[in-house]
Amino acid sequence: MPIPGNLLTTAMAVMPHKDVDRALQQALSLDIPYWPQLPHVSYYEDMYVQAAEHFPGTVLDLEANTLSFSHDKFYAELEETLAHYEEPEYFDISPSYSVVYHKFLELDLSGRPAIRGQLEGPISFGLNVKDQDDRPILFDDEVRPFMLEVMAKRVNAQLSKLKALNPNAFMFVDEPGLQFIFSALSGYSDTKAFADLETFFGAIERPRGVHLCGNPDWDFLLKLDLDVLSLDAFSNGEVFASYAKAVSRFLERGGRLVWGMVPTNFEPYSQEDMASLEARLAEAWGALSRRGVDRDFLLSRSLLSPATCCLVNPDGEKTVEKAFATVRALSQRLREKFRLE
């Protein structure tokens, strides 16, 4: 598995920065860098908008900062998309939709243990983007299968570009919406979601994984054919640790876990220190160990990251940058403690 472990550092992509170079510098300060998504720079840098490029039927309003869907536009544009269906470059993110991504592609990242990219996942995209009747396109049986295919092509196009920079490149599929499908009111069953995601991931090259900050059914996620799972362990570590059998199976088949432990929101960050964050991790790891997951094996397959993204702090990007520094320091502290390479 090209994805390293041993508590190296990475982070989620969405950042509050308005300065592209400063955000990129922060991303490069971690062991496994990535290209930041900066919605405060431009609405094009929004994660949903970036996923929507060249998807037929999407309606982007840059004045109102809204993204919606039109069935009439979908059928009018479908032929154009199909004409480019075997052209990977067509499905990659263009310079108009991310200045940061293309700056990242110009860097020499060959000496890094790995690098990472990301794209919004089909479940979250399909729940967030709504048609003229205010109905999420995820519920449209004609649009959804095509959406799964296009999103897989988009992930593959980006991963191919990143692997040219570093053979250990991998992708996060960001799925914040996954936690909502387990409600009886969602209108989209977890059984259907699992089948759709199996189809989706089956069309994506490895390594591939999921990042989400919510608290879904962890059994559901750990059963998917993923190589890496990134979670908000600061908020959900105790619950996650109760799924020891599923975690053990995931790790034994080669999976990696990204423990999001350092909060980036101003108030919770100010209430924590290195000792308290280490104690939270120790509690989750201890719970897994007591349920049969070998700690050393777990750490060899674990990374560290901030707990979540944050765009709304009163101090702008300052707390986020402090959190990045804390992640680096926590990693060094734990790697020395456990004598990890």
pLDDT tens-digit profile of 53-68? 999 999 999 999 999 9
Residue 185: per-residue pLDDT:
63
CA torsion through residues 58, 88, 174, 253, sign: positive
Domain residues for the domain of 166 are 8-337
Lowest mean pLDDT among 25-34, 180-189, 202-211, 268-277: 180-189
DSSP conformational letter for 185: T
Residue 188: per-residue pLDDT:
80
Query: Mean per-residue pLDDT for 229-247?
Result: 97
- Does 1 map to a domain? no
User: Do 246 and 208 meet the contact criterion of CB atoms below 8 Å apart?
Assistant: no
On the question of pLDDT at 94 being above 90, the answer is: yes
> In the structure, what pLDDT confidence band is assigned to residue 290 with cuts at 50, 70 and 90?
very high
Strand partners, 174: 120, 211
Cα separation, 211 vs 176, in Å, equals: 8
Ramachandran class of 28: left when φ > 0, alpha when ψ lies in -120 to 50, beta otherwise: alpha
CATH number of the domain to which 107 belongs: 3.20.20
Residue 55: per-residue pLDDT:
97
Query: Mean per-residue pLDDT for 31-38?
Result: 98
On the question of pLDDT at 341 being above 90, the answer is: no
- Does 56 map to a domain? yes
Name the residue with higher pLDDT: 204 or 214.
204
> In the structure, what pLDDT confidence band is assigned to residue 182 with cuts at 50, 70 and 90?
confident
The structural domain count of the chain equals 1
- Does 245 map to a domain? yes
Query: Mean per-residue pLDDT for 205-213?
Result: 95
- Does 210 map to a domain? yes
Burial class (CB in 10 A: 0-12, 13-18, 19+), 29: middle
Half-sphere exposure of 103 (CA within 13 A, CB side): 18
Helix H or strand E segment including 102: helix 99-105
Residue 1: per-residue pLDDT:
65
- Does 2 map to a domain? no
Residue 178: per-residue pLDDT:
86
On the question of pLDDT at 166 being above 70, the answer is: yes
- Does 3 map to a domain? no
Q: What size, in residues, is the chain?
A: 341
Phi, psi of 317, deg, nearest 5: -90, -5
Contacts of 264 (CB under 8 A, 6+ apart): 306, 307, 308, 309, 310, 313, 319, 320, 323
- Does 12 map to a domain? yes
On the question of pLDDT at 327 being above 70, the answer is: yes
Name the residue with higher pLDDT: 183 or 226.
226
Query: Mean per-residue pLDDT for 196-213?
Result: 95
Query: Mean per-residue pLDDT for 132-157?
Result: 96
Q: Are strands 208-212 and 8-9 parallel, antiparallel or unpaired?
A: unpaired
> In the structure, what pLDDT confidence band is assigned to residue 184 with cuts at 50, 70 and 90?
low
> In the structure, what pLDDT confidence band is assigned to residue 179 with cuts at 50, 70 and 90?
confident
Burial class (CB in 10 A: 0-12, 13-18, 19+), 83: exposed
Percent of the chain with pLDDT over 70: 99
The vertex-252 CA angle with 246 and 254, nearest 5°, equals 110
> In the structure, what pLDDT confidence band is assigned to residue 300 with cuts at 50, 70 and 90?
very high
